[in-house]
Amino acid sequence: MKRLLSLVFFIFLVMTVFTPCPAESAVDREKEVRDAVTAFVMNRSSGMGWEVRLRRITISDALKLPEGAIDYEIIAPQQWEGWGNINIAVIARQKERVVRNIPVRIDVEALADTVVTLRQIDNGSTIQAADITLQKREISYNSRTSAKAVTDVIGKKARISIGANQPVRTDQIEKVPVIKSGQMVTIIAENEVLKISVSGIAHSSGAVGDVVRVQNLTSLKEIPARVVDASTVQVGF
């Protein structure tokens, strides 16, 4: 019995001495890589006005790195817009020498302010404040042409029908013309000391802020003018 206990103790001693301890640096290295990737993503999206969250970071061979200070360089596809699922490379350098190229896959969620319909808007309808709201929507389900402010949409006309709870794209709406070709208008020209107004005829249609062609009925000349309201246009003076 004593011999058996001695044998068990000897085996336990051998295992304790010769079994390697978990390397703390391995865990630290993975954290370093994750921190470097996170910093890169946040820096890439800064100034965009987005809410960004890294949903997933999948790292391959991140633990097989030497001890000592290491610098990390992140290389992403040139066309990457800052969101979605992509593969990137993390280049680990030690004293200017590349020690490993680490493949990493990331999944980035980005939310941006988006104008969304509260009800269906029919083709040709003028959009009112009660028809829309501003919500955070994921960019991957969005578009570069999505309207970002309600002021960019209110008062515009729908070019097509837009379903309820849908982002409003700028190519789905257009300004409502307040001046139509052929109508009588007042043409004004003014500066700090003088204001002149004459009658004219619009030769093109336009919304407030648009430039239209008008004919001065006094001189009969056709000139460009900016639409002020439903009956007035202004020319430079």
CATH of residue 194's domain is 2.30.30.760
Last residue of a domain, one of 55, 84, 110: 110
Task: For residue 84, tell me if it sits in a domain.
Answer: yes
pLDDT tens digits for 55-94? 999 987 666 788 889 999 999 998 888 888 999 999 999 9
Question: What CATH number is attached to the domain comprising 117?
Answer: 3.90.1210.10
Global pTM exceeds 0.75: no
Is the same domain home to 215 and 170?
no
Last residue of a domain, one of 110, 127, 155: 110
The arithmetic mean of pLDDT across residues 223-236, rounded, is 93
The tokens for 42 are 């946040």
Instruction: Please report the beta strands in 43-95, taking only residues with DSSP state E, as ranges in sequence order.
Output: 51-59, 71-75, 84-94
Task: For residue 17, tell me if it sits in a domain.
Answer: no
Q: Which residues of 110-149 are buried (b: 16+ CB within 10 A; e: fewer)?
A: bbbbbbbbeeebeeeeebeeebbeeeebebeebeeebbbe
Is the same domain home to 63 and 115?
no
Contact 45, 82 (CB under 8 A): yes
pLDDT tens digits for 109-130? 989 899 999 999 999 999 999 9
Range of the domain at 223: 184-234
Is the same domain home to 117 and 45?
no
Domain count for the chain, please give it. Answer: 3
Is the same domain home to 81 and 62?
yes
Is the same domain home to 33 and 103?
yes
